[in-house]
Each structure stands twice: as C-alpha cells, then as structure tokens.
Amino acid sequence: MEQMIPGFLEEMLKKQYGEEVFAKILAGYQARRPVTLRVNPLKADRNTVEQALTGAGIAFKNVSWYEDAMIIEGAREPEIQELPIYKEGGIYLQSLSSMLPPLFLGPKVGESVLDMAAAPGGKTTQMAAMTGNQAQITACEKNKARSEKLKYNLEKQGASGTYVMVEDARKLDDFFSFDRILLDAPCSGSGTVEVRDGICRTKISKELVERSARTQEELLKKALKLLKSGHEMVYSTCSILKEENEVLLKRVLKSAGGELVPIGEEWTKELPLLPNAMPGTLLVGPNELFEGFFVAKIRKK
C-alpha cells in the first residue's frame, strides 16, 4: 500500500491532510469511476438523449445538481462513442468534476468570455451551451495539435460563437478585456491520479508540481489584468495540493487586486469535499464518482 503512489506525493498529502484523509484520497485514486456525460442543448435535448440511451439498452442516473449531467451505468466510453447521438454531438463525455467551473462562472448572454487553457474543449463547449451560443467566447490553446482537437470539438458540439486563438494566454495583449474569465489552469493532476492493481498509472513528479505552480501564478496574474474591474473569474485545477491552490491564490490575490467570492451554493454539500484552508473555495476529493478538483471564484477590485 505504501508504494502505490510516488513517495513525494504521499508525503505531501499526509502532511496536508493527515493519515485518515490520506487513506480516503488513496481509495479515491483506486476507484474506477463510471462514465459521465453532459447533454449538449445546442444539438439535443434531455429527452432525446434519454431515449437514445434507453434504446441502446444503456442505463443512467441523474445528477441532482446539474440537469444536463448523467451518470452511465454498465457501459464504458467505447460503447457510448458508437451511438449516433455521440457522433452527432448531442452529448459530450466529461467528468463531473470538470463540469463545476463553468457552473460557478455562470457566463451570460452577450458577455465576452475568455477560456485561458481551453483544449480539448469540454468547459468551452459547456459555456457555449449555457449561453445558447449568445456569448462571445475566446478560447486560448498554445499547443497547435491540441488547438486542432479543440476546433474539432467546438464544431462537433455546434459551439459556433467561439473564437480559437492558438496562443499562450500568458502572452495575450493587455489591451484585451473580458466580462468573465475561466482559468482552468494546467496542473500536476494530483487530483486525477489513477492507481490500478497497486501501480500508479499517472506520471507525476515534484518538479511537475513546482513547474505547474509557476505557470499557474503567471496565468492568474494575467487573468486579473484582462478581467474588467468589478467582474468575476473562476480559477480551477485538477490538483488537491495547496501549493497549486490555496497557497498560490493567497499570494496572488494580495498583490494583483483580486478578492475571493465565496462559493456557498447549498448543493455543494453533496460533493465529497476535502478540508480546505481557504473558506469559500471548493476542494473536491477523489472518490468513486469524482476526480479531485479545486475551484475558486474571484472578483477584480
């Protein structure tokens, strides 16, 4: 059991959370989560998706906090990908955790929205769907190959109001300004570690954690420059390490003119939350349904 994850990660998690919570995190790393998906209202409605799944003999469960989300029972991704409704863009395979940031950002019709690290496009297409393609969404992706995947998904999902920039968001001109910004930052992936048969299947290193934190800080500072005063952004990572989340946020907000907007929706109590040193932010722990995920909402002063 002690050798399931890299020693440095075990040490960091135990130091941050203690033995008891660490054991739960480790169990979450070993869990095999069911397939989850999001109905895409730009291409299909909930009823049509339910009929398609039922017709294919695929069972599903609803998600209480998000009407477009579904948990698939007894089928894996390849089976879903064979369905016409998938091929036509009526559904999008997406983890429950990654559906959270756009919900808290709450983009509105007519707003200018920046997605700073958009590929492969799950959250971008979700925001396009939430606004019925009536928001001006700019999706940044610095990697050319990943940007092509992003463009493909946007087209397949019918997200026609989205403009893709093949650019490192840290290098965006400060001339730009946006009503809302989603920064789902590149991270170590410490919330999404997979352990199978006692072996860690995820590449993660101390150097990656440190490098990620540096990139996250640069991106967050840039986001606060591009965000209009009095407007809101969401910062999220699929990491459960404080170095990439609370510690970094406290440092940047102090120097860059941002303030925390507490996330306090009643339904968040249904999520498997981890202890968190920054009240008002959301820290989801990995379990049989969720990946580990951190979400913070920020307002520019």
Separation between Cα atoms, residue 192 and residue 153, nearest integer Å: 22
| Domain extents in the chain | 36-93, 100-300
Sort strands 162-165 and 136-140 into parallel, antiparallel or unpaired. parallel
pLDDT, one tens digit per residue, over 87-144 is 999 999 999 999 999 999 999 999 999 999 999 999 999 999 999 999 999 999 999 9
Provide the b/e sequence for 32-46 (b: ≥16 CB within 10 Å).
ebbbbbbbbbbbbee
Catalytic residue positions?
A: 238
Mean per-residue pLDDT for 194-215?
A: 95
* Percent of the chain clearing pLDDT 90 (strictly above): 95
Would you place residue 161 in the very low, low, confident or very high pLDDT band (cuts 50, 70, 90)? confident
The backbone region for 177, taken as left when phi is positive above 0, alpha when psi lies in -120 to 50, beta otherwise, is beta
CA angle in degrees (0–180, nearest 5) for 265-270-274: 95
pLDDT, one tens digit per residue, over 43-60 is 999 999 999 999 999 999
Sort strands 59-62 and 195-196 into parallel, antiparallel or unpaired. unpaired
Mean per-residue pLDDT for 2-6?
A: 79
Mean per-residue pLDDT for 260-271?
A: 95
- What pLDDT was estimated at residue 1? 44
| Beta-ladder partners of 183 | 235
Q: Dump the DSSP string for 207-258.
A: HHHHHHHHHHHHHHHHHHHHEEEEEEEEEEES---GGGTHHHHHHHHHHHTE
Separation between Cα atoms, residue 42 and residue 269, nearest integer Å: 30
pLDDT, one tens digit per residue, over 247-260 is 999 999 988 889 99
Residues in the chain: 301
CATH number assigned to the domain covering 36-93: 3.30.70.1170
pLDDT at 3 over 70: no
Instruction: Of 219, 142, 138, give the one whose Cα is nearest residue 180.
Output: 138
Q: Tell the CATH topology of 100-300.
A: Rossmann fold (3.40.50)
